């Protein structure tokens, strides 16, 4: 699982100690942490220093543009020198996460899309969420706190992306209290440090276990040689947003690569008008509590067959929408998150036919939220208390597997994974302690996959994994694929598989002191059975087309309902979802740098338990992406146009369909040390919204109008 970094690169040729939190004073100290933390001081220094350096660089950038071409990194030079055939082979047409080894996407037992660092740069993606939104069949919701990913018509209200498995360099990073991972400014890695995104649709539990119901997203980070020196970047944008980044990366000697980077971001956020609060008593629905700031640190060290990755981020976010009946417009409504991942990987070729990979990682999440609540009666003077929620997650895991060819025409992957959840703690308190729950748990899994080439061009892939959990017992999940090369240009895939998601600590044990909710204590895992047909064809030397049809059935879906015995909300296995759909994609690339992608997705998903159309499930998605070299190798224009069909809301209404357009111009000086990017997002200032979640009074949450960003990067 963990060998993606060395395997991929060959193919291309701070954990703080746990604190003891007790008492109201500790909670207030925690709430004040961000204002005086060292990270905040580092962030301010980063932004100030980057701004000063960039002002100087812009002033004499014209002179710098005449510098020697050797200033460009090795990786950039290599890409510019590749032929069309080589460009079509790497890295867009290779993937690691589908089988835990590098292979052509056409040979993978999944429907796969790859987003490269070059696309991230030229389309001006500010977050991973924006990059994922461009992928066929995927869509994003934003509730002014977190970004949530929908896949093939499924985006369950209240789910923290737990039905999608997130990997960074092959390491699982879904946290261990709510299964959460997030893709916006809250993401643990700066988007500028991503080498590529692998989006692997369909069930992945036969290799990865829990959470891989709808898709696996594998994020591959840049290393020292991808940077090739010192890189300084700064950006300004709408809502007084500023971002600064300093990155050093290089190859030291024959066997060592080092990358070290620090990023700081700060935004005041827009003034929002919330019509549900349009009343003189609530400032006529106007609120300015949408500020957002984060600091992150990254270290990536490669030494021979070993690699060490350290990720750390801290984020503070205002909460403007008054969820959970909190006080509207109160600036004390805030969330703080602090996350750390430390991962060690060892990968080595044992022989010409066998490869050994193993890795271990430690993860840490601290989550705090303050919720102002008015406990005064209607018409009474406000009596506001602060309800405080806390989650503490600590986990350690390890994976070991081998990939090899024990027999002619067979490629076998065999491995095992273990996870120890050291802490799964949840607390809720206001004037009294309503919840103080501490847990730990363990789970493990064993898996095998055999890729058997029956005849030339005909391959059967079978996979099976067994997982054992403390909480519910065992789960067995198979996968089967037939891949047929019809001719040199055409590949047909017949895919089927089962995946599961284990009930998490939040669903099992969270409650609010039995005031409105109670703990479930026992739940069965969710399951999904998926069947898919994929046809991939090289139409011309420049064009490739993909068509896929799919059907899936999700069973034992975990959702909240009211227990009639006591009127309390509780999680239960109560829902079943059935969906079928179609995805069409057309990709084109030329040696000049011209690149385009168009896609259309249709999904019909319904809640089989109620017979109703699924909430937050647009039937239609259409996307068009275009990169045009305005001036060869110097100035590029990146255009995105995205259509999203109407989506059903929780109030049985619909959020309107909409069309968004984004335009980015990217200038790179001839020797490539200086890069300037100007992006306009929601170019035509379209008014649109996403369906609200259970905690919101808003049935539809309005999104930003036209925004901009100007960024400047200099590479020494």
> Are the beta carbons of 155 and 617 closer than 8 angstroms?
yes
Planar angle of CA 700, 202, 398, nearest 5 degrees = 105
Residue-wise DSSP of 581-615 = EEEEEEEEE-TTS-EEEEEEEEEEEEETTTTEEPT
Element (H, E) at 50: helix 38-59
Q: Which CATH superfamily is domain 4-715 in?
A: TonB-dependent receptor, beta-barrel domain (2.40.170.20)
pLDDT greater at residue 512 or residue 330: 330
**Per-residue pLDDT tens for 131-143?**
999 999 999 999 9
> Are the beta carbons of 530 and 550 closer than 8 angstroms?
yes
Supply the pLDDT for residue 609: 84
For the chain, the farthest-separated pair of C-alpha atoms sits apart, in whole angstroms, at 80
> Are the beta carbons of 458 and 485 closer than 8 angstroms?
yes
Supply the pLDDT for residue 159: 85
Tokens of 90: 């790497």
Tokens of 53: 């350096």
Residue-wise DSSP of 94-163 = EESTTTTS-EEGGGSSSEEEEEEHHHHHHTT--SHHHHHHTSTTEEEEE-SS-EEEEETTB--TT--STT
**Per-residue pLDDT tens for 34-72?**
333 444 444 554 454 444 444 444 444 433 333 333 333
User: Which three-class secondary structure state does DSSP give residue 399?
Assistant: strand
Supply the pLDDT for residue 21: 40
> Are the beta carbons of 185 and 315 closer than 8 angstroms?
yes
User: Which three-class secondary structure state does DSSP give residue 647?
Assistant: strand
- Is the peptide bond prior to 712 cis by the omega test (within 30 degrees of 0)? no
**Per-residue pLDDT tens for 112-171?**
999 999 999 999 999 999 999 999 999 999 999 999 999 999 998 878 899 999 999 999
Whether the predicted pLDDT of 712 surpasses 70: yes
> Are the beta carbons of 353 and 404 closer than 8 angstroms?
yes
Please provide the average confidence, as pLDDT, over all residues in the chain: 88
pLDDT greater at residue 205 or residue 11: 205
Report the distance separating Cα 536 and Cα 190, nearest Å.
33
Supply the pLDDT for residue 413: 97
Whether the predicted pLDDT of 299 surpasses 90: yes
> Are the beta carbons of 270 and 276 closer than 8 angstroms?
no
Query: Taking the CB of residue 396, how many other CB atoms lie within 10 A of it?
Result: 15
Supply the pLDDT for residue 707: 98
**Per-residue pLDDT tens for 74-112?**
433 333 333 333 433 444 678 999 999 999 999 999 999
The strands making up 171-172's β-sheet, listed across from edge to edge, are: 111-116, 194-201, 215-221, 164-168, 171-172
Q: 394 falls in which pLDDT band (50, 70, 90)?
A: very high
Give the torsion through C-alpha atoms of 182, 105, 83, 131, to 10 deg.
Answer: -20
**Per-residue pLDDT tens for 515-538?**
888 999 899 999 999 999 999 999
- Write the burial class of residue 295 (CB in 10 Å: 0-12 exposed, 13-18 middle, 19+ buried): buried
Extended beta strands in 169-240, E state: 171-172, 194-201, 215-221, 229-237
Query: Taking the CB of residue 242, how many other CB atoms lie within 10 A of it?
Result: 19
* DSSP letter (8 states) at residue 517: B
Tokens of 260: 């070290």
* Residues 6+ positions from 640 with CB-CB distance below 8 Å: 123, 134, 623, 624, 625, 626, 660, 661, 662, 663
Give pTM, 2 decimals: 0.89
**Per-residue pLDDT tens for 250-296?**
999 888 999 999 999 999 999 999 999 999 989 999 999 999 999 99
Backbone angles phi, psi at 298, to 5 degrees: -135, 140
Tokens of 448: 């095998």
Backbone region of residue 552 per phi and psi (left: phi > 0; alpha: psi in -120 to 50; beta: other values): beta
Supply the pLDDT for residue 88: 37
Q: Which residues pair with 575 in a beta bridge?
A: 557
User: Which three-class secondary structure state does DSSP give residue 284?
Assistant: helix
- Least confident range from 67-76, 227-236, 307-316: namely 67-76
Supply the pLDDT for residue 92: 63
Give just the sign of the alpha carbon dihedral 697, 523, 558, 462. Answer: positive
Whether the predicted pLDDT of 22 surpasses 60: no
**Per-residue pLDDT tens for 666-683?**
999 988 799 999 999 999
Planar angle of CA 658, 664, 668, nearest 5 degrees = 165
Tokens of 276: 């549900």
Supply the pLDDT for residue 17: 36
Q: 24 falls in which pLDDT band (50, 70, 90)?
A: very low
pLDDT greater at residue 441 or residue 565: 441
Give just the sign of the alpha carbon dihedral 140, 141, 147, 153. Answer: negative
Supply the pLDDT for residue 714: 95
CA 672 vs CA 68, 271, 633, 715: distances in Å? 9, 38, 9, 8
């Amino acid at each position: 699982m963990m060998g993606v970094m060395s395997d991929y690169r060959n193919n291309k040729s701070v954990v703080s100690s746990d604190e003891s939190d007790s008492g109201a004073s500790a909670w207030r100290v925690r709430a004040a942490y961000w204002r005086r933390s060292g990270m905040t001081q580092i962030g301010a220094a980063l932004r100030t220093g980057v701004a000063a350096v960039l002002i100087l660089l812009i002033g004499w950038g014209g002179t710098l543009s005449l510098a020697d071409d050797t200033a460009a990194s090795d990786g950039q030079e290599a890409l510019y020198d590749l032929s069309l055939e080589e460009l079509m082979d790497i890295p867009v047409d290779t993937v690691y996460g589908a089988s835990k080894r590098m292979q052509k996407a056409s040979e993978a037992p999944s429907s796969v899309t790859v987003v490269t660092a070059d696309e991230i740069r030229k389309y001006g993606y500010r977050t991973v969420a924006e990059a994922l939104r461009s992928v066929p069949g995927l869509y994003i919701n934003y509730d002014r706190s977190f970004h949530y990913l929908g896949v093939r018509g499924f985006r369950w209200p209240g789910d923290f992306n737990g039905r999608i498995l997130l990997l960074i360099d092959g390491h699982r990073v879904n946290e261990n209290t709510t299964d959460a991972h997030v893709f916006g400014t809250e993401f643990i890695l700066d988007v500028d440090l991503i080498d590529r995104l692998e989006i692997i649709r369909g069930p992945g539990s036969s290799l990865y276990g829990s959470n891989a119901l709808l898709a696996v997203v594998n994020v591959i980070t840049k290393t020292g040689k991808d940077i090739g020196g010192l890189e300084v970047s700064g950006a300004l944008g709408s809502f007084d947003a500023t971002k600064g980044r300093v990155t050093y990366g290089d190859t030291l000697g024959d066997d060592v690569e080092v990358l070290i980077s620090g990023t700081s971001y700060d935004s005041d956020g827009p003034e929002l008008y919330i019509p549900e609060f349009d009343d003189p008593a609530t400032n006529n629905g106007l609120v300015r509590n949408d500020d957002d700031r984060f600091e992150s640190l990254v270290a990536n060290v490669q030494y021979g067959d070993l690699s060490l990755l350290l990720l750390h981020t801290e984020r503070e976010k205002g909460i403007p929408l008054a969820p959970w009946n909190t006080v509207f417009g109160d600036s004390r409504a805030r969330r703080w998150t602090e996350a750390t991942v430390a991962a060690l990987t060892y990968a080595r070729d044992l022989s010409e036919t066998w490869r050994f990979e193993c890795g271990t990682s430690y993860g840490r999440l601290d989550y705090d939220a303050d919720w102002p609540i008015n406990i005064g009666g209607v018409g009474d003077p406000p009596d506001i208390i602060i309800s405080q929620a806390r989650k503490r997650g600590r986990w350690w895991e390890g994976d070991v597997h081998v990939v090899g060819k024990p027999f002619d025409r067979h490629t076998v992957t065999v491995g095992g994974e273990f996870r120890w959840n050291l802490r799964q703690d949840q607390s809720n308190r206001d004037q009294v302690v309503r919840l103080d729950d501490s847990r730990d748990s363990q789970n493990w899994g064993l898996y095998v996959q055999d890729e058997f080439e029956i005849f030339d061009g005909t391959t059967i892939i079978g996979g099976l994994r067994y997982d054992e959990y403390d909480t519910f017992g065992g789960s067995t999940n198979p996968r089967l694929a037939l891949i047929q090369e019809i001719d040199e240009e055409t590949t047909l895939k017949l895919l089927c598989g089962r995946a599961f998601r284990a009930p998490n600590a939040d669903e099992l044990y969270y409650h609010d002191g039995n005031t409105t909710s109670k703990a479930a204590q026992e739940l069965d895992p969710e399951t999904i059975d998926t069947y898919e047909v994929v046809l991939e064809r090289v139409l011309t030397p420049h064009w490739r087309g993909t068509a896929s049809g799919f059907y899936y059935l999700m069973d034992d879906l975990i959702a909240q309902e009211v227990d009639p015995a006591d009127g309390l909300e509780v999680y239960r296995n109560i829902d079943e979802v059935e969906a079928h759909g179609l995805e069409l994609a057309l990709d084109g690339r030329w040696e000049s740098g011209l690149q385009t992608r168009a896609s259309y997705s249709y999904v019909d998903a319904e809640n089989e338990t109620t017979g109703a159309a699924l909430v937050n499930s647009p039937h239609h998605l259409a996307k068009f992406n275009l990169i045009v070299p305005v001036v060869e190798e110097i100035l590029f224009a990146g255009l995105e146009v995205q259509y999203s069909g109407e989506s059903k809301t929780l109030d049985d209404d619909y959020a309107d369909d909409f069309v968004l357009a984004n335009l980015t111009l990217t200038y790179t000086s001839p020797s490539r040390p200086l890069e300037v990017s100007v992006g306009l997002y929601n170019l035509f200032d379209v008014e649109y919204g996403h369906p609200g979640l259970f905690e919101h009074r808003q049935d539809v949450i309005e999104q930003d109008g036209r925004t901009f960003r100007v960024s400047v990067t200099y590479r020494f």
